[in-house]
Amino acid sequence: MSAYSSLEISQRLAVPAGTTSPVSTEGPYFEDVTVGMTLELQKPAITRLQIAKFAGASGDFNPSHVDEDIARDIGGMGGVFAHGMIGMGFLGQLLTDFLWDRPLRMFSTRAVIIVRPGDTLTCRAKVSRKWVEDEDNLVEFELEALNQNKEVTHTGKAEAVLPHRPIAIKADLKRPYLVQHRVIG
Amino acid sequence: MPINLNALGAETPWSEVVVTQERIDALCSVLGDYNPLFLDAEQAAQSENQGIVAPPTFINCFRDFKTALVLSEAEVDLPLLLHGEQVIRYYKPVRPGDRVLHKIKVIEAGRKKSKTYGEVSFFTVLIKMKNLADERLVEATQLFFVRDK
């Protein structure tokens, strides 16, 4: 472990006051998730600083995101706008807050309209399908992000692999003939 | 200006990068995502992941030579570029300390009608990430549109 990694989170990151982190000990089980179930995450308004930080974190310094003059005069988009991947990152957070340590198999998004500094995104997920494929129990989520005007900025889908709890014969089902059968059989 | 459609098939060389906690922290910080599974070694060790893993969109932080590919091969005028779709497929978790290889290839390029912007160029890149044992970690496709003006 590097010296940096051994530092506490509070020493490494300026976590805003009042930020709550997801607290969980294990992710959901396959049988806990029902088709139609919904999740929601409200994010604070996107700032120009956040866009600049994303450019630094991702290496994507397209002037459409960080240079107001070029974005307005050459890009013709009326000014800078957020990387589409920021909205995707928010949707990813919505998923991992819920799934915890259950793995994603696929995650896709489509940028529908641009997101500007000051826009506030609400991320939503809805369980649209459950199925078993080979050894994997799969759950599909339909995703969308909406801005403060209720306009859809991103749509998407995700697939996660969830385990089923280990099987066990429930106590009230342990009838004498079953026990006998097991003994005799 | 339309892009150079001869960029189809162009690819970057494999690039080796070490995944660091600093890079994971940078992404978590900008997203405001302080999930301990990405940040706290002690808590992450108790999860099924058995240690810190990178957030699901971390592959977006790997783009060595991508600018060269987009600018020199596809001849894209960056201010006219718009991101369309992205699909990420996960095979194995990416962890801090991992040495990973990644490359980017243009797998689709052409012209199409956009409802909003009229006739536009488009191209799709495939980003592959694997470990030094040649095991796939994460792969993503990204579709971009480039307006003519």
Report pLDDT for A185.
44
Query: Which residues of chain B are within 8 Å of residue A1 when distances are taken between CB atoms?
Result: 41
pTM (2 d.p.): 0.93
- CA-nearest of A93, A110, A106, A59 to B138 is A106
B139 belongs to a structural domain: yes
Cβ of A108 and B86 within 8 Å? Answer: yes
Query: Which residues of chain A are within 8 Å of residue B76 when distances are taken between CB atoms?
Result: none
Task: Residue B82: count other Cβ atoms within 10 Å of its Cβ.
Answer: 22
Averaging pLDDT over each range in A64-68, B77-81, B97-101, which range is the top one?
B97-101
CATH number at residue B88: 3.10.129.10
A177 touches chain B (CB under 8 A): no
The C-alpha atoms of residue A8 and residue B142 are separated, in whole angstroms, by 35
Scanning every residue of chain B, which has its alpha carbon at the shortest distance from the alpha carbon of A78?
B79
Cβ of B88 and A106 within 8 Å? Answer: yes
Which band of pLDDT confidence, cut at 50, 70 and 90, is reported for residue A39? very high
B68 belongs to a structural domain: yes
> What residue ranges define each of the domains in chain A, with the CATH number in brackets?
28-46+82-184 (3.10.129.10)
- pLDDT tens digits, one per residue of B33-57: 999 999 999 999 999 999 999 999 9
B14 belongs to a structural domain: yes
Query: Which residues of chain A are within 8 Å of residue B79 when distances are taken between CB atoms?
Result: 62-64, 70-71, 74-77
For chain A, percent of residues with pLDDT exceeding 90: 67
Model ipTM value: 0.94
The C-alpha atoms of residue A158 and residue A103 are separated, in whole angstroms, by 11
Task: Residue B13: give the domain boundaries.
Answer: 5-18+62-147
- pLDDT tens digits, one per residue of A1-25: 678 878 888 889 888 888 877 777 7
B89 belongs to a structural domain: yes
Scanning every residue of chain A, which has its alpha carbon at the shortest distance from the alpha carbon of B23?
A57
B57 belongs to a structural domain: no
What total number of domains does chain B contain? 1
B140 belongs to a structural domain: yes
Task: Residue A9: count other Cβ atoms within 10 Å of its Cβ.
Answer: 17
The C-alpha atoms of residue A55 and residue A61 are separated, in whole angstroms, by 5
- What sign has the CA pseudo-torsion B14, B16, B19, B20? negative
The C-alpha atoms of residue A120 and residue A115 are separated, in whole angstroms, by 9
